Structure 1
Amino acid sequence: MGDPREPPEGAPDGGSGNEDEYRSVVFDESFVRAARIQELSARERLGGHYPRAVRTRIGLGPLGSLPRQAVALLLLVAMAFAAAVYFGVSSPRRLVAAPSGDQLTVSLTALSPSSPVRPVADYRNPFAALPTGYGDGSAGFGEPVPAATAHFTRIEVMRALDVAERYLTLADLTPAVLTEGDTAQVRAVLTPGEQAQYDDSMNSPRDDEHHAATGWQVRFDPGQVALATDTVKVTGTMAFAEADSGTLEVTTDHTFVYALRPAGTERPLQVSLYSVRRALRMEFDRTDLSAGRLRLVDAATQAGPTSCAARQADHFQPVLTGLPPAPPAVDPADHTVPAWQLCATLR
């Protein structure tokens, strides 16, 4: 019998019918993909949209051998990457520098008495003449009930309010800060980006709207003033809101009333009251909240009775008894005197 692999009529002339002799001319897959022309598919030929039966491949180098879906996917990835780079470079948020350095802006207003300052009627109860609404120390802060905002949880808001309250307690109520020159406690609550400004304000206070020591905390010259009692009366409010999606803002507006006497004397008949109103704006990002620190942005302060001529950048300078000296005449051409120093009449 003949070979079953041969056709019934036998092998054609000039050949054995075996496929091995054609192996040298069979095109492998890489050769087909590298071809510069490509035959249309049956569907494309039936559609009649092409005048010829073949198309020219696009010269994409190594990409020319990839399926069209893969090429399209690579193009989409490249376009997305280019868009991300463009918007990352041109985004307006990149133009805003990270908070650091001179962040606090300070406004100081001296409140001069319109009549002679008199001692309190009862030195054992120096705050008896105050109207209702004042609390002892932090009881007068008026802290709001914490609640979640659009981008901050209730716990984060509560943490911000607690840090703000701790700062107010240290900066405005603590005797060591008020009359003993302590700065370490207040400094520890500030974000590291502001600590250099704080140090400069304490070491070299000046009336330049950024480096007044009394913008950061209430303090009196221990050589001139002493506390008649450690109790401080407080009234005011606190509020919170989002400055942006990553920043929580706490604003406070309080009036602090101190019972003071001249330093170096225990005579009770010389106790008088001194009022300081402080309106503050504090900001917290999530790093600040985790670390229990804040960034003090604005501090507007009114304090009196104080002489209009007093320089308050280093210490507040109360008028304890009598009338303060008349304020000096102001020469608007004298640029050695800060133009933003303000004075008003205490009511």
Structure 2
Amino acid sequence: MGDPREPPEGAPDGGSGSDDEYRSVVFDESFVRAARIQELSARERLASSFGRATRPRIRLGPLGTVPRQALALLLLILLAFSAAVYFGISTPNRQTARPEGSQLTVSLVALSPASAVHAVADPAAPFAALPPGYSDGAIGLGTPAGAATEHFSKIEVTKALDTVQRYLVASSLAPTTLIQGATAEVRAFVTPGEQAHFDASVAHPVDDRHHALTGWLVRFDPAQVALAADSVKVAGAMRIDEADSTTLQITTDHTFVYALKAAGAPSGAPVTVETVRRQLTFQFDRLDLASAQLRLVDSVLQAGPAPCGSSLAGYVQPLLAGADGTPAAGAQPIDPGNHARPAWQVCGVLAGS
């Protein structure tokens, strides 16, 4: 009996029946002859390489090639560095931080009368006895023309002088400040770094050489006195200087003469002349100039007739007509109209005008 795995007609010529299981995966001769094998030439292989997924590079001569993204980043860094150098050179005097804190030093000097205080001869002309040199209000401030300093232009100096003049008008001449207790107009001139210091002086004035309100402005207690004339007589001058290459400094020295009477007194009541000398030092950086604000760093106030024992921190305390003075033992006569002498003194005796 034959092998049951062989077909009935027998195995094909030249092969065994066991090769049938590979017949499905063996290519016949006609398939092999039909297959075409192609090998790329050298030129074709080079041309196909340009289609590869690679990042574009930029040739920099002898430096080789650099990716385009890296070159863009390098250019951005160079631009940022150039801008930093430019602004650093073009603004050499720019300050990184503005001065803050308690910068003002205040000296208060009461000038006691040597004898009883006398009223002026004519209440309608309270300033008739003043010596020459006094003018009405802002005219008497003697604001000079601006002139360039070593590090500040004429325009900058002129702006500083204008700010100082307006501050002196607001703090020494305005009736709202002198007798009505207003402080906002004066505060608006104070640089932000000193405003907290100013506010503390308003809220709790004390003669501790830093927080006397009368270091910032002149004011009288409205419960005690009133203005007897609309005008205030002024004499004095201003000096321009530099504290350093970034700080403009202006020093003012003025004598203000006020006509006063008792609060609630009728027209024609006795009038007393009160003399107040203010010697102030202001400083400006370029930010202060741009904002039309100032830093008051030193203030000396002489006021008389005023009792030596009273505090001048909150109000100037004038002695009105008929009051007796109590000068301190050994006190020297001081003329608040004499600007040739330093303003800082101990309690003295009112002399001169």
Q: What is the count of residue pairs matched by the alignment?
A: 247
- Write the distance in 2 (CA, Å) between the matches of 1:324 and 1:307: 9
Can you list the C-alpha shifts for 1:259-284, whole angstroms capped at 9, x where unaligned? 00000111424111000000000000
Q: Do residues 104 (structure 1) and 108 (structure 2) align?
A: no
Match of 2:286 in 1: 286
Question: Unaligned regions of 5+ residues in structure 1, if any?
Answer: 1-65, 67-95, 330-339
In structure 2, do the counterparts of structure 1 residues 289 and 320 end up closer, same or farther at CA, with 3 Å as the change threshold? same
Q: Which amino acid aligns with 1:343?
A: C
Q: 2:225 corresponds to which residue?
A: 225
Which residue of the partner structure matches residue 127 of structure 2? 127
Per-residue Cα deviation, 1:57-95 (whole angstroms, up to 9, x for no partner): xxxxxxxxx9xxxxxxxxxxxxxxxxxxxxxxxxxxxxx
Q: How does 1:1-347 map to 2 (within 5 A)?
A: 98-324=98-324, 326=326, 342-347=346-351
With normalisation by structure 2, the TM-score equals 0.67
Q: Which runs of 5+ in 2 are unaligned?
A: 1-62, 64-95, 330-343
Aligned residues: CA RMSD: 2.4
* Partner in structure 2 of residue 337 of structure 1: none
Q: Aligned with 2:190: secondary structure?
A: coil
Partners of 1:184 and 1:105 lie apart in 2 by: 21
**Alpha-carbon distance between aligned partners in 2 of 1:328 and 1:122, rounded to the nearest angstrom:** 31
> Partners of 1:160 and 1:141 in 2: how far apart?
14
**Residue 324 of structure 1: how far off its partner (Å):** 3.4
1:75-132 per-residue CA deviation (whole Å, 9 max, x = no partner) reads xxxxxxxxxxxxxxxxxxxxx9852110110000000001211111111111000011
Whether the 8 Å CA contact 2:328–2:348 is kept in 1: the answer is no
Question: Which piece of structure 1 moves more, 298-307 or 97-106?
Answer: 97-106
Partner Cα distance (2:300, 2:180) in 1: 23
In 2: Cα distance, 1:201 partner to 1:122 partner: 37
Cα contact 1:113–1:323 (8 A) shared by 2: no
Contact 1:306 1:324 in 2 (8 A): no
Shift in Å at residue 322 of structure 1?
Answer: 2.2
**One-letter identity of the residue aligned with 1:171:** S
Structure 2 vs 1, CA of residues 147 and 327 (structure 1 numbering), >3 Å: closer, same or farther? closer
Q: 1:322 to 1:97 in 2, by over 3 A?
A: farther
Query: 1:305 Cα shift?
Result: 0.1
Say whether the 8 Å CA contact 2:282–2:295 is kept in structure 1: yes
Give me the whole-angstrom Cα distance separating, in 2, the residues matched to 1:288 and 1:272.
Answer: 39
Q: 1:325 to 1:114 in 2, by over 3 A?
A: closer
Give the direction of change, closer, same or farther, for the CA distance of 1:320–1:201 in structure 2 (3 Å limit). same
Are the aligned partners of 1:256 and 1:276 in contact in 2 as well (CA < 8 Å)? yes
8 Å CA contact 1:120–1:269 kept in 2: the answer is no
- The CA distance in 2 between the partners of 1:326 and 1:134, in whole Å, is 29
Q: Is contact 1:305–1:346 with CA below 8 Å preserved after alignment? A: yes
After TM superposition, the runs of 4+ consecutive aligned structure 1 residues lying more than 6 A away are: none
Give 1:342 shift. 3.1
Higher mean Cα deviation, 275-284 or 315-324?
315-324
Contact 2:310 2:317 in 1 (8 A): yes
> What TM-score results when the alignment is normalised by the length of structure 1?
0.68
Does the CA contact (< 8 Å) of 2:118 and 2:272 recur in 1? yes
Computing the radius of gyration from Cα coordinates, the structure with the larger value is: 2
- Cα separation, 2, equivalents of 1:222 and 1:341: 27
Q: Percent identity?
A: 56
